[in-house]
Amino acid sequence: MIEETVLEAIDKMEKAVDHVQNQFTTVRTGRATPALVEKLQVEYYGAPVPLQQLAGFQVPEPRQLVVKPHDRGSLAAIEKAIRDSDLGVNPNNDGVVIRLNFPPLTEERRKEYVKIVKHMAEDGRVAVRNIRRDARKHLEAAEKAGEISADDLERAEKEMDKITHDHVEHIDKALGRKEHELLEV
């Protein structure tokens, strides 16, 4: 019972950490990367489709991303989705591929991105703590029902605190790496 609750909480916490790290990849660092655009929703034949399902990506230069659609008919829809996004780049369409040229980041913009990343990390920490709280409630209910002893509950809570601390630490390390990457000129 306790082990099952703890393992479920660990699984959920790992998913929360992965989600935060995936969110970090969507924040621009001055280098072109497919992660910036692959999750963009493109209106394709009346349905929203992630760009990664409609096109391939290449990075010929550090500040240029080339989007090559699998179907040339989707070129205009992809271009519109990129233009409407908050990336701040203007797509260049040559009829075959779309080129995205990323300007160098200003110091002010870098600091703004750091704030955004810190906010994402805090959301991740809160999610991990909420998972711990839910697991703790589940264990306390089991103790009240007489399924586990008070000592078992205390041991499980200490284990949950350690696990939570480890997952928050993972988020903090990822934040440190991303912050360093953003402030690097």
pLDDT tens readout for residues 37-61: 888 899 988 899 998 899 999 999 8
Residue 26 CA to residue 45 CA, distance in Å, equals 26
d(CA 175, CA 164): 17
The residue from 49, 79, 101 where one domain ends is 101
Give the HSE-up count for residue 45: Cα atoms under 13 Å, Cβ half-sphere: 3
- Residue 43 and residue 19 share a domain: no
Residue type, 96: V
User: Residue 31 pLDDT > 80, yes or no?
Assistant: no
Same domain, 122 and 170: yes
pLDDT digits 0-9 by tens, 160-185: 999 999 999 999 999 999 999 888 76
Q: Are residues 16 and 40 in the same domain?
A: no
Task: Tell me which residue range forms the domain holding 65.
Answer: 34-101
Q: What does the pLDDT read at residue 137?
A: 94
Mean pLDDT, rounded, of the chain: 89
